[in-house]
Amino acid sequence: MLRDLLRQESVSVGRLHVATLIKRIGLEPLYRRPNTSKLALGHKIYPYLLRKLAVTRPNQDWATDITYIPMPRGFVYLVAIVDWFTRRVLAWRVSISLDAEFCSEALDEALARYGKPTIFNSDQGSQFTSSAFTAVLLREGIAISMDGKSCWRNNVFVERLWRSVKYEEVYLNAYASVPEARAGIGRYIGFYNAVKPHSALGGRTPD
């Protein structure tokens, strides 16, 4: 659009050059960006434990993250707990707010169904640094690992899950309500765990 506006003013310029100039002067589009990883002052931050660690078995490391799900008005939020080795979604919850309670519910379900991991990895969001959340991990003797600020690649397996959920389910179905979102996401995660083959697993499913 900017290229065409400039051409209307007799300025001959290409789209790539316009993009370069936009980056150089720091222009960004204005749109609503949900922030799901707000830090909480005073909460303890734990070191990242997975650097150069070979994950070779189930329950060696679990990871969690939160993403947003677009709705007709605003967003709902999805948390999932994933086993790094099997890629299985162990537990998940959808919430209309970013409080810590729905994350704690997912953690309790995962522990009840699958035992406990050696390491639990998350970002530094207030939901995961809260005393209520970390107390459960400490009580169970689970080592707590946290990504560095803005280091999304440290939790790349959960990021890949979000991509699959959004492109194969959420963006294809315009949820009209929160119950509809929960039902659709639940069906997809059942498919993801039991039916969808993963190249990293040699074509097998997480289950």
pLDDT in tens, 172-186: 998 999 999 999 999
Where are the alpha helices (H) located in the chain, listed in sequence order?
A: 2-8, 15-25, 101-114, 126-129, 131-139, 156-168, 178-194
**What's the predicted TM-score (pTM) here?**
0.78
Contact by Cβ (8 Å): 143, 120: yes
Q: Which amino acid is at 67?
A: T
Residue 199 has pLDDT above 80, yes or no: yes
Beta-carbon contacts of 145 under 8 Å, excluding residues fewer than 6 positions away, are 46, 47, 48, 49, 50, 61, 119, 120, 121, 122
Q: Token pair 């309790």 is at which residue?
A: 108
Mean pLDDT of 25-32: 64
Give just the sign of the alpha carbon dihedral 197, 203, 206, 207.
positive
What burial letters (b/e) apply to 59-74, b meaning 16+ CB within 10 Å? Answer: bbbbbbbbbbbbbeee
Look at residue 192 and give its three-state secondary structure: helix
pLDDT in tens, 108-144: 999 999 999 999 999 988 899 998 999 999 999 999 9
Side-chain-side CA neighbours of 134 within 13 Å: the count stands at 19
Cα(56)–Cα(20) distance, integer angstroms:
43
Structure tokens at 117: 């991991």
What domains, with CATH codes, occur in the chain? 1-31 (no CATH), 61-201 (3.30.420.10)
Cα(181)–Cα(73) distance, integer angstroms:
13
The per-residue pLDDT for 31 is 47
Residue 2 has pLDDT above 50, yes or no: yes
